[in-house]
Structure 1
Amino acid sequence: MRTPRRWSTAVTAALLLGTGSCEKPAPAAPAPKPASPPATVPTTSARGKVTGTVRYEGATPRMTRINTASDPACEGAASAEPAIAVHDGLLENVLVRIKGPVAGEPAPKPQGPVVLDQKACAYVPRVQGALAGQAIEVHNSDPTLHGVRVLQGPDSVLQEVQPPQGPPVKGEVPRAAEVLRVKCDVHPWMLAWIVVSPSAHFAVTDAAGHFALEGLPPGTYTVEAWHESLGTRSAEVKVAADGATELSFTFSAG
């Protein structure tokens, strides 16, 4: 007896459904991994500092005389070049900084410009630190014209003639800069330095050769001391939470 077509079709469909129900279910997608917690930066109360002095060893160098006769407006200017400023064996104008970025800290953001002034035909301050991308602002408090020029190596990154007590000359610290030299095209003895740091932990020694690097998370750091003509010194230090680490550097001529 021949099976009706409708019954055969129904049987075939049932067999197909039964076969499908015997297959193993597809494995469930793995649960997403929890996101890594953000890096934590120690609170201010858990931070330490590095303090110390920079000394100069040997005979105090003789400073080069400055001839300001070419511009009567420079009367009262310093009579000697203060490249190596030593006071009782202590060295001024040394830029001390943490070498490299500080682990656990976000990239520092500049707060306000790097400010230079021209007083009595000299740049003030002579040495200062800065962050990459920070604004530069050069003022002229003198009653005479200056030719502001900022150089990165041999290349000028800012150059402008500035009238007596005129508006500030403005620029920016290049991202790839390490040290910027600032000079005056009118008065060749005028000189200043801007040292670019990867972190905000830097300081310039005062007349007593003293410096302080504060707000450092606990850890081990390389500290650098830079001088415009005497070179660079470095030392490794360990900083404890709420602690002060003492450090000293010594420079000498030759």
Structure 2
Amino acid sequence: MKSVILILFSSFFLLVNCETANKENVGAVLALLNPPTSSNPETVVEDNQVTVNFSYTVVDLGAGIPVSITSSGVTPSTGLTFSVSPSLPAGLSLNSSTGEISGTPSLYVAKTDYDITGQINQSSKTVRINFGISRLTNDRLSETIPSRPIGLNLTYNVTGQLIEANPNDGCSAITNNISGKVALIRRGTCAFHDKVINAQNAGAIAVIHYDNNISDTVPVVNPYPNPSLITIPTTVISGNAGTNLVNSLATFNTNATLRR
């Protein structure tokens, strides 16, 4: 009888130990499958903020002359979307991918502020540029003559009879009557600055320089070395445009208007 009781007790003890071991093993497996969570878990945050940078160098434009103004120092180099406010003048457009301003302005526009914004995701930068569009017109034909203003940050609206200076290069004292008129002067022989001083001394109210190369290209002229001495509007046109004006003056009286 004692032997039977001992066997039963031993079997029960073994069964309990096996069950306990199995529970511990299952617990270990569950612990591996479900690790404890931390009260301060690590969080990965994607930072979409990037540094946006770009700039422009813009000078006053002339009606009738094609332009291409590109942005410089663009960061990032790709992915920016550009916009402008207010809208650019007639004939000009902004490339929304590159920020380039291009086209051919057609009308006079007073100096205006334009805000150009470059944006990528939530990052952006706004650059303010300021420019105007000058315009030279042959009033007899009511047509725009492509021209570039020279130096001088002046605002003007001048109309006068157009007359060719004598000598036509304006490099010495002008002998014909240009007082109260718009002087047409050929490029060459002396500096633009000297030509304008001679025209001013003779009473001209404005000067139109025309290139001495016979082409449709309107030259780019450096600012005057002594701008404080220049008090009248000045602009430059192509050799072809100037030659056509000289030829027409032999037959027609013509007024010209310069606006800036």
Is TM-score (shorter-chain normalized) higher than 0.5?
no
Whichever of the two has the greater Rg, that structure is: 2
Higher helix share goes to which structure?
2
TM-score, normalised on structure 1?
Answer: 0.30
TM-score relative to the length of structure 2: 0.29
